């Protein structure tokens, strides 16, 4: 027993000496001590029984695990990893956290219906059914879960819309798309109509001469007091940029009064014109509104309306000045027609079941933001309410909210939606021109909340704001850069290490076209390329363009192979047995033709005789029919005209 203890002490001493020598940089001496420690270790293995060895192994494992889990060890590993990988995510990091396999692993959680599929059917399901493709890094794809919020920042004409169109086409369920232009509608509507479901357009400004195929009355559902408050909040927020001070106080009063007026109009069967008349004419409001609000079970609305009509002129004017911009769209003929009352209200449940696509078009200068924002909020909140009755409390397939130019035409309360909508099966993708635009619309505190709730941020080039560039550079962190100093003769004088930003502000400002920086939760920044929608096979087939990349080469090779095989089979099938007289006559005709061609000019060939070029039709797409939907849904009374 004494010999075993002595051998153990010798082993511990040699290992301790090896560790000290490694820390001091004497690697060779440490290797010698480690080799010598093998002798007492071998002696202990022979002397001890297997239970004792097992107990020693367990103790050593616990000690190693404890030291590995300490804060100091964690920080040391992180620093070493950052030095090795230059501060960006490695291939292994992307594969473990944001790769295709990692995204598909959560399929049963984010899409409960996919949990019952067999293994073969599960792998046949595309990854876009459970994730949002952010960018590509070499052969890898970087994904974000459909339950995470994705924000996109980039200047004009940097590729945001081209990337967003691809996400709209990949959406497995219904989609709501907002935009100030018609390019998303023209690109996505034909393909979505063919592959998913009906396509509808809400165009209250008459953008591009496209008619609205659906209508939305802001009084829809306002007989419910909660809906009236939400509708008033959306409409006032679309025109307000106040974040604190007196302006915020007057906006709060405006929301309270407008909610009472919307509730009164819904109870009395009125219209938005009546609401506008009550705001403009105090005497009329005093006569009609209190009588209508007596039908409501909520006394708060009656008190708010009474306070509005009985207050002094100065206070009433301040409240009116906050409400009137939210009703300015009534002066636009197209917007007023799109919001006209109807017998068939907008059915969100039917929208989700048919996997329809709704394009909401607007323009900031037309004052239609409150109307577009109200419709967006109505769809999102109804979808959230319907999700509570679904398995796991999620919509399956999820609803996509592609809020392009949301800061201009549909400033929905992202500070609240980003925290709750993802868990209800509502995917939010919101592109902005810059972080400064987000600050100007939502204010500093709400912007911080939105960014904290966001799972992925994509940064395109084109930003020139110093504060924005410094913010994104700070978010990327720092890395170690080795500096070698030489003398006049080129000999190394010293080697040092300095801290530099992983992504300098100048690098972010001058990102090449197609390159993006992705800040995703759980991994270091990723620099990749964003795939534009017009490079997709379905979009190229719609535009009758040849396929690109390896797929295009394969299709062209297949076409040439088919042409060659057809010509070969025709040659084999043609009889080749000819007599010597037929061959002589053929040679005589060729000689006569050559003599005539030397003396006469051949007549030009008529255009009608020209053969058409060989056209290989790859995945033909149906022509777009905007405003009409699938024949199976034609005549459905649940939809508005």
Residue 69 in tokens:
């889990």
Residue 13: which domain range? 2-69
In a domain, 176, yes or no: no
Considering the domain boundaries, does residue 56 fall inside one? yes
Task: Give the integer Cα–Cα distance in Å for 522 and 261.
Answer: 47
User: Is a pLDDT exceeding 50 seen at residue 283?
Assistant: yes
Asked whether residue 65 is assigned to any structural domain, the reply reads yes
CB 137 within 8 A of CB 526: yes
In this prediction, residue 84 carries a pLDDT of 65
In order of 50, 58, 68, 70, 464, the CA distances from 63 in angstroms are: 20, 9, 9, 11, 52
Task: With a cut of 50, say whether residue 621 has pLDDT above it.
Answer: no
Sign of the dihedral defined by the CA atoms of residues 86, 89, 93, 95, in that order: negative
Higher pLDDT, 366 or 604: 366
pLDDT given at position 143:
95
User: Hey, what are 490's tokens?
Assistant: 């080129």
Segment among 104-113, 403-412, 490-499 with least mean pLDDT: 490-499
Q: What is the pLDDT of residue 618?
A: 32
Is there a cis peptide before residue 397, judged by omega within 30 degrees of 0?
yes
Residue at 9 is within a domain: yes
For 266-386, list the strands marked E by DSSP. Answer: 357-361
Q: pTM, whole model, 2 decimals?
A: 0.76
pLDDT, average across residues 117-146:
90
Among 166-175, 245-254, 394-403, which stretch is predicted with the lowest mean pLDDT? 245-254
For residue 392, what pLDDT band results from cuts at 50, 70 and 90?
confident
Calculate what percentage of the chain has a pLDDT beyond 70. 83
pLDDT at 263: 92
Work out the pLDDT band at 635, boundaries 50, 70, 90: very low
Higher model confidence: residue 584 or residue 106?
A: 106
Q: How many domains does the chain have?
A: 1
Does 63 map to a domain? yes
Express each pLDDT in 514-559 by its tens digit.
899 999 998 999 999 999 998 888 888 887 666 666 666 776 677 6
Say if 18 falls within a structural domain. yes
How does the average pLDDT of the chain come out, rounded? 82
Residue 446 has pLDDT above 50, yes or no: yes
Q: Report which secondary-structure segment, H or E, holds 198.
A: none
Of 67 and 95, the one with more pLDDT:
95
Per-residue pLDDT at 630: 43
Only one residue has tokens 């692993």, namely: 105
Q: 456-459 and 515-520 as β-strands: parallel, antiparallel, unpaired?
A: antiparallel
Per-residue confidence band for 425, with pLDDT thresholds at 50, 70 and 90: very high
CA distance 123 to 140: 17
Q: Look at residue 506 and tell me whether its pLDDT is greater than 70.
A: yes
Q: Is position 37 within any domain?
A: yes
Query: Tens digit of pLDDT for each residue in 25-40?
Result: 788 888 888 888 888 8
Q: What local confidence, expressed as pLDDT, does residue 239 receive?
A: 84
Is 213 part of any domain? no
- Per DSSP, the residues of 208-269 read GGPPPS----TTTTTTSHHHHHHHHHHHHHTT----SSHHHHHHHHHHHHHHHHHHHHHHTT
Alpha carbon 145 to its chain centroid, in Å, reads: 9
Residue pair 623/198 in contact (Cβ under 8 Å)? The answer is no
pLDDT digits (tens, 9 = 90+) for 65-84: 887 887 877 777 777 766 66
Residue 513 neighbours by CB under 8 Å, 6+ apart: 158, 159, 461
pLDDT for 451 beyond 90 = yes
Q: Is the pLDDT score of 141 beyond 90?
A: yes
Can you give the pLDDT at residue 577?
A: 52
What are the distances in angstroms from CA 626 to CA 194, 258, 316, 586, 639? 12, 35, 45, 60, 15
Lowest-pLDDT range, 181-185, 281-285, 345-349? 345-349
Give the pLDDT mean for 112-133: 87
- pLDDT confidence tier of residue 627, bands split at 50, 70 and 90: very low
| Selection from 618, 630, 625, 620 nearest residue 185 by Cα | 625
Q: What pLDDT is stored for residue 460 in this prediction?
A: 93
Per residue in 1-11, pLDDT (tens digit) is: 677 778 778 88
pLDDT value for 163: 95
Please say whether the beta carbons of 440 and 464 come within 8 A: no
Share of the chain above pLDDT 90, in %: 35
Q: What is the pLDDT of residue 391?
A: 85
Q: What is the pLDDT of residues 491-501, one digit of tens each?
A: 888 888 888 89
pLDDT level of residue 95 (50, 70, 90 thresholds):
very high
Per-residue pLDDT reduced to its tens digit, 171-226: 999 999 999 989 999 999 999 999 999 999 999 988 888 888 998 999 998 999 99
Could you tell me if 328 and 252 are in contact, meaning their C-beta atoms sit under 8 angstroms apart? Answer: no
Half-sphere exposure of 248 (CA within 13 A, CB side): 6
């Amino acid at each position: 027993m004494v010999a075993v203890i002595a051998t153990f002490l010798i082993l511990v001493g040699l290992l301790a000496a090896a560790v000290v020598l490694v820390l001091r940089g004497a690697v060779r001496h440490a290797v010698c001590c480690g080799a010598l420690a093998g002798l007492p270790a071998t002696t202990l293995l022979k002397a001890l029984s297997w239970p004792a060895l097992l107990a020693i192994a367990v103790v050593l494992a616990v000690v190693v695990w404890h030291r590995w889990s300490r804060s100091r060890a964690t920080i040391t590993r992180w620093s070493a990893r950052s030095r090795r990988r230059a501060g960006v995510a490695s291939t292994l990091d992307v594969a473990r956290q944001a790769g295709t396999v990692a995204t598909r692993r959560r399929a049963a959680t984010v899409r409960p219906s996919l949990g019952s599929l067999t293994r073969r059917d599960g792998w046949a399901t595309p990854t876009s059914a459970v994730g949002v493709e952010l960018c590509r890094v070499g052969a890898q794809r970087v994904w974000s879960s459909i339950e995470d919020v994705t924000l996109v920042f980039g200047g004009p004409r940097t590729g945001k819309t081209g990337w967003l169109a691809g996400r709209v086409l990949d959406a497995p369920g219904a989609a709501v798309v907002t935009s100030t232009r018609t390019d998303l509608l023209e690109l996505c509507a034909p393909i979505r109509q063919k592959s998913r479901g009906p396509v509808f357009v809400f165009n209250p400004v008459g953008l591009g001469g496209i008619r609205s195929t659906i209508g939305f009355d802001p009084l829809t559902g306002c007989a419910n007091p909660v809906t009236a408050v939400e509708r008033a909040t959306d409409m006032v927020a679309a025109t307000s940029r106040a974040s604190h001070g007196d302006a915020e106080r007057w906006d709060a009063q405006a929301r309270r009064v407008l909610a009472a007026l919307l509730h009164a109009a819904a109870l009395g069967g009125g219209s938005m014109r009546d609401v506008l008349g009550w705001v403009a004419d105090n005497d009329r409001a005093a006569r009609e509104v209190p009588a209508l609000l007596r039908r409501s079970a909520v006394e708060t609305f009656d008190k708010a309306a009474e306070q509005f009509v009985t207050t002094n002129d100065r206070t009433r004017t301040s409240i009116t000045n906050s409400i009137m911009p939210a009703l300015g769209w009534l002066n636009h003929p197209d917007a007023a027609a799109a919001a006209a009352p109807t017998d068939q209200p907008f059915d969100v449940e039917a929208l989700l079941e048919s996997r329809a696509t709704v394009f909401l078009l607007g323009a900031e200068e037309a004052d239609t933001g409150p109307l577009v924002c109200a419709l967006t909020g109505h769809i999102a909140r109804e979808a959230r309410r319907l999700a509570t009755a679904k398995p796991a409390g999620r919509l399956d397939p999820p609803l996509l909210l592609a809020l392009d130019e949301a800061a201009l035409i549909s400033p929905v309360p992202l500070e609240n939606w980003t925290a709750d909508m993802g868990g209800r099966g509502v995917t939010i993708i919101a592109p902005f021109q810059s972080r400064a635009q987000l600050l100007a619309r939502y204010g500093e505190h709400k912007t911080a909340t939105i960014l904290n709730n966001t799972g992925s941020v994509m940064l395109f080039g084109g930003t020139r704001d110093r504060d924005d560039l410094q913010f994104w550079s700070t978010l990327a962190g720092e890395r170690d850069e080795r500096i070698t100093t030489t003398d006049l003769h080129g000999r190394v004088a010293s080697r040092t290490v300095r801290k530099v930003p992983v992504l300098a502000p100048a690098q972010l400002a001058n990102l090449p076209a197609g390159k993006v920086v992705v800040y995703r939760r759980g991994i270091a920044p990723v620099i990749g390329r964003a795939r534009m929608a017009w490079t997709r096979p379905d979009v190229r087939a719609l535009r009758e363009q040849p396929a690109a990349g390896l797929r295009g080469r394969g299709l062209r090779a297949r076409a040439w192979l088919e042409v060659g095989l057809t010509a070969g089979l025709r040659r084999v099938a043609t009889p080749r047995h000819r007599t010597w007289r037929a061959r002589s006559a053929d040679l005589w005709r060729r000689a006569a033709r050559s003599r005539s061609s030397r003396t006469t000019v051949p007549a030009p060939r008529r255009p009608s005789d020209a053969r058409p070029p060989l056209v290989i039709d790859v995945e033909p797409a149906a022509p777009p029919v905007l405003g009409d939907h699938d024949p199976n849904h034609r005549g459905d009374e649940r939809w508005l005209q």
